[in-house]
Amino acid sequence: MPSCIFCKIISDEAPADILYRDERVTAFRDIHPIASTHILIVPNKHIVSVNEVTPEDETLLGYLFTIAKEIAKQENVAESGYKLIVNTGPDAGQVVFHLHMHLIGGRRIRTR
């Protein structure tokens, strides 16, 4: 998706602090972190939001949790705790319409 900032990061056309990348998923630091650890875990496939998920995406979306767990360990928040958040649509404040999971940790966070 040419106009999508996350597709550009995934294809190296835009810069990001990339922590992990493979053929299915890319993870990079959020440019406006709300906690000391704030990482975005993004499927390389352009899925607009949870509303566009199909059954064929189930394995890919489950894999986001596997990567989240590994990154939480690397970032030393596995034991102290972290949140995994997927915003969907305007009322949730979704601003990038390429599905992504926020991994937020490093202090007590009150977002729900």
Which of 94, 103, 104, 105 binds ligand AMP (CB under 6 A)? It is 94
Element holding 72 (H helix, E strand): helix 58-74
Per-residue contact flags (x/-) with ligand AMP for residues 23 to 52, judged by CB under 6 A: -----x-xxx-------x------------
Residue 32 or 55 having the CB closest to ligand AMP: 32
Residue 32 annotated as catalytic: no
Element holding 10 (H helix, E strand): helix 5-10
Instruction: Name the binder of 4 from Zn ion, ligand AMP, none, CB < 5-8 A by kind.
Output: Zn ion
Q: Give how far the C-alpha of residue 65 lies from the chain's centroid of Cα atoms, to the nearest Å.
A: 10
Contact 20, 103 (CB under 8 A): no
